[in-house]
Amino acid sequence: MAKVGDQFSPGDVVPLSGIYKCSSCGSRSSFSTDVKGKTFPPSHHPGAKWELVEITPHR
């Protein structure tokens, strides 16, 4: 199970709906798992990862 602080690469399947930040500049984006198999978009900064900062509870 993914947890806050875990980092993911572009192209990885989004494990949990939540807020993720660029590991380079800290810019935040919200990604959801509404679409099964949805993957992370290209990195916000070259070589950066997407880091989980807040998990969005399922409705």
What residues line the site for Zn ion (CB under 5 A)? 22, 24-25, 27, 44-45
Nearer to Zn ion, 5 or 47 (CB): 47
Nearer to Zn ion, 17 or 24 (CB): 24
Nearer to Zn ion, 37 or 46 (CB): 46
* Minimum distance, C-beta of residue 45 to Zn ion, in the bound complex (Å): 4
Could you identify the residue written with the tokens 């900062």? 53
**Degrees to nearest 5, angle at CA 52 with 46 and 10:** 35
User: Nearest residue to Zn ion, using CB?
Assistant: 22
Could you identify the residue written with the tokens 């993911």? 8
DSSP string, 10-32: TTSBP-SSEEEEETTT--EEEE-
